[in-house]
Amino acid sequence: MDISVFEAVAAYDMSKVNSSDIEFPVRSLIIDIDSYSAGLCSCGNNGKFQITDTVSLGENESFERDFASCLAEILNEFDRYRIREYWTEHKKEINASAEIFFRSGGQIDNIILKETDYNITASQFEKSFSPIKEKIIRLTELFFKMFTKNSIDEDSLRIIIAGDYSDCLFADYYIKSEMMFDPFLADERFVNSSYTDNPTEIIKIGKQKLRSKSVFGYDISFRYYNATNDQCTEKILSEKEQDKKLFENPDYSEPVFISADDSLKIEINSTVKEFKLPYNISAPNFDVIQLALGIFNDKPVLLLRRICSPENIYSIPIVST
């Protein structure tokens, strides 16, 4: 299942929302800082959401690549392939110094990075960051146009900044500078601070949540006697990792002979269960049936139809919890 960043973040955010404290539909602006893109999401009180529009600076844009170029400009020797490792090692000191620098209006130009032979000041760091700042401003212009296009009230949005570099204070500051008077004032639209998880992890967590909801979750097979080869045959009806959407249109098995005394032997996650036929078989004491799986109330159900009357579908619950 291919899950977009916007879908993953929307799923994560909705898992953190208390439905009693919020009005539906919930509209969110999701900013993927890694790719300089943003998406609008609408979520109903049934938990289902839709990505209604997206904007992007381009498919080949990369915050990480630009960040590596910035660091290469101010550091004499910098391995661009170590950018994530370097950011993880130094982000605490960079963010702390950047906050002091911005809060002071640039008056306190303290050391932001200490290297062996020289030091990098906050103003030097900001200057090297200017290409990223320009791209962030262009991105905000795009999503302001998206608000107008979709008749979105900016003040009603939940705003989530996501991505591997969503914890970069420079990026956070530039985004908020375009959306509020003082980027350091509390603004309930920006909800990252309400999360207990690291903002860089919410995409991964959101994808895990969506996959767990979208996969079928059951290995189910049907065991029956095959008169053609005089053997017991197993027909696989589902596998755990299959997408639930595959069962929206039932895929019936080949016709199977069954006698009046037989039960339906269904193996569910390695446990064999027997189910009685939901009807009585009259003379000549056998029937020909087809089986498939469906979903009812998010649980698998066995669907049975008789060859003699295929328009009648019997639904048999096979999972109790």
Domains recognised in the chain with CATH numbers: 1-214 (3.30.420.40), 220-317 (no CATH)
Residue 259 near residue 285 (C-beta atoms within 8 A) = yes
- Find where tokens 């569910």 sit: 268
For residue 114, report the phi and psi dihedrals to the nearest 5 degrees. Answer: -110, 115
pLDDT for 215 equals: 76
pLDDT for 295 equals: 86
pLDDT for 283 equals: 63
Bridge-partner residues for 306, per DSSP? 289, 309
pLDDT for 79 equals: 81
pLDDT for 117 equals: 73
- CB burial class (10 A; 0-12, 13-18, 19+) of residue 182? exposed
Running DSSP on this structure, what letter comes out for residue 190?
B
Per-residue pLDDT of the chain (321 residues; tens, 9 = 90+): 577 899 999 989 988 876 556 777 889 999 999 999 999 999 877 667 889 999 999 989 999 999 999 988 888 777 878 888 999 999 999 999 999 999 999 999 999 988 767 788 999 999 999 999 999 999 999 999 999 999 999 999 999 999 999 999 999 999 999 999 999 999 999 999 989 898 889 999 999 888 877 777 889 999 887 766 777 788 888 888 888 888 888 889 888 888 878 889 999 998 999 998 898 887 677 889 999 998 888 788 999 999 988 899 999 998 876
Query: 3-state DSSP call for residue 201?
Result: helix
Could you tell me how far CA 52 lies from the centroid of its own chain?
A: 15
Dist CA 245 CA 248 (whole Å):
5
Residue 37 near residue 135 (C-beta atoms within 8 A) = no
With CA atoms as reference, report the closest residue to 66 among 3, 7, 118, 138: 138
Query: 3-state DSSP call for residue 176?
Result: helix
pLDDT for 58 equals: 92
* Helix, strand, coil share (%) of the chain residues, nearest 5: 35, 30, 35
pLDDT for 116 equals: 65
pLDDT for 239 equals: 87
pLDDT for 15 equals: 85
Running DSSP on this structure, what letter comes out for residue 181?
S
DSSP string, 70-129: HHHHHSSS--GGGHHHHHHHHHHHHHHHHHHHHHTTT----EEEE-SS-EEEHHHHHHHT
pLDDT for 1 equals: 53
Instruction: For the chain, count helices (H), then strands (E).
Output: 7, 14
Label the pairing between strands 220-226 and 264-268: antiparallel
Q: What predicted TM-score, i.e. pTM, was given to this entire model?
A: 0.74
